[in-house]
Copies of this chain bind each other. A is one copy, B any other.
Amino acid sequence: MGAREAGLPDVVSSGSLPSRVTIWEVGARDGLQNESTVVPVSVKLEFLSLLADAGLSVLEATSFVHPKWVPQLADAAELLSGLDARPGVSYPVLVPNERGLDRALEAGVKHIAIFASATETFASRNLNRTLDSQFEMFEPTVKRALSAGMDVRGYVSMCFGDPWEGPVARSQVVAVGERLLEMGCSQLSLGDTIGVATPGQVESLLEGFRDVTRLAVHFHDTYGQALSNTLAALRCGVTTVDSSAGGLGGCPYAESATGNLATEDLVWMLDGLGIETGVDLDKLVECSVWMAAQLGRPSPSRVVRALAK
Contact = CB atoms under 8 A, between A and B. Distances in A.
**Chain A interface extent, by class:** 35 or more
A201 B162 CA distance: 35
A227 to B, nearest CB: 5
A63 interface: no
- Copies of this chain per assembly: 2
Which of A160, A199, A221 has the most CB atoms of chain B within a 10 A radius of its CB?
A: A199
Contact of A7 (B165, B199, B256, B305): B165
A303 interface: yes
- Provide the main secondary structure of the chain A interface: loop
Given A12-B204, A14-B232, 20 more contacts: A7-B163, A7-B194, A8-B167, A9-B160, A9-B161, A9-B167, A10-B167, A12-B200, A14-B203, A196-B272, A198-B272, A199-B272, A201-B272, A221-B302, A222-B306, A223-B302, A224-B268, A224-B301, A224-B303, A252-B252
Interface of A: 6-14, 160-168, 194-201, 203-204, 221-225, 227-228, 230-232, 252-258, 262, 265, 268-269, 271-274, 298, 301-303, 305-306, 308
Given A161-B6, A197-B9, A273-B199, A225 B257 contact: no
A219 B14 CA distance: 19
Contacts of A257: 302, 305-306
